[in-house]
Amino acid sequence: MKRWITLACGVVLVLVGAVWVLQGAGVLTGSFMTGQKLWFLIGLVAFLVGVVLVAATTFRGRTR
């Protein structure tokens, strides 16, 4: 059960982080976050944490 929760959190962080990066870079418009460097950096951190969670969950599941 814990594996699925970790995987789901990782996927959500990857998706949200990607949106925040695109908004911070000015690619996605229509938000107060558009063109803001802070949201680009926050999104990048969220994206990378999500990738680590997904990778850790995937590799841990294969070794067992």
pLDDT digits (tens, 9 = 90+) for 7-44: 999 999 999 999 999 999 999 888 899 999 999 999 99
Residue 54 has pLDDT above 80, yes or no: yes
pLDDT of residue 9: 96
pLDDT of residue 46: 98
40, 7 in Cβ contact below 8 A? Answer: no
pLDDT of residue 63: 54
CB-count burial class (<10 Å; 0-12, 13-18, 19+) for 50: buried
